[in-house]
Structure 1
Amino acid sequence: MTPQERNQLIGLLDQSYEQWTGQGLPVPSERAKQRLEWLDQHSPYGLLIQNTEPDPLFIYANQQAQLIFGYSLAEFLATPASQSAPPERQQERNLMLAEVANKGISNNYRGTRIRKDGQLFEIEGSIWKVLGKSGEMLGIAAMIWSKEVSS
């Protein structure tokens, strides 16, 4: 992924969030001019996008998401999004995705996820449709906060 492609995805992620909520993703006012870089490199919350394939793959993960899940960006981009939740939590994940499909966004989402090393952890956050410039759905994004990792 080139820096330009990454910035385009982050921009669409941010614009889509604003479309669903009426405000952009939280960024400190002093970093507004470097908004996209801050969201990618310095955000305290994870940002992820999965594509719209029947078995979606991640197409973007910021630095915080990589830290939370323990994957490098290259590993994320080769990982099916369904692997982010343990098998016994797939139904919960599917219900959340159905809500996003119907409403466009799911706020106050909570769920169990699995790190690369197999450890389970809890997340909370928002999940929303990412739309392209002509309104087509490009994927589903997540802004997540991680709780303490459990064994």
Structure 2
Amino acid sequence: MHKTGQDVAEFVAGVAPAKRRRDAETLLAMLREITGLEPEMWNAGIIGFGDYHYRYESGREGDAGAAGFAPRKASTVLYLPDGLGYYADRLDRLGPHRSGVGCLYLTDLTTLDLDVLRDVLAESFARLTGGTYTKRAREGGTE
């Protein structure tokens, strides 16, 4: 992935529907607080905070946002590149969501326990910014 230089505020202002824009604004504030960083746009409409370097056993490597989300039409996608396995007990308490390998799909932040969400995002960011991340999310997120 790469940073695009696109203006984050301009991007968020164009997010539709309005509920998704509201959720994006909530996540921007939360992630600014957690990371102490300003957001940057990454390719494919992803808003990222900080970055981390990944390297897979295959030799493939690159950089990505250490914390990030993408406000999509159907849901907001939160990226947890360290895998969901670390957070299974907390995600049970989060509220309505769907999950993928390293993603949470959220349709309405007002239905979630935002303290749980904040805790998960803070731990994931700390885990990813502590050094080079070498495990794939699909490996289960356990050390």
Return the TM-score normalized by structure 2: 0.32
Return the TM-score normalized by structure 1: 0.30
Structure with the largest fraction of strand:
1
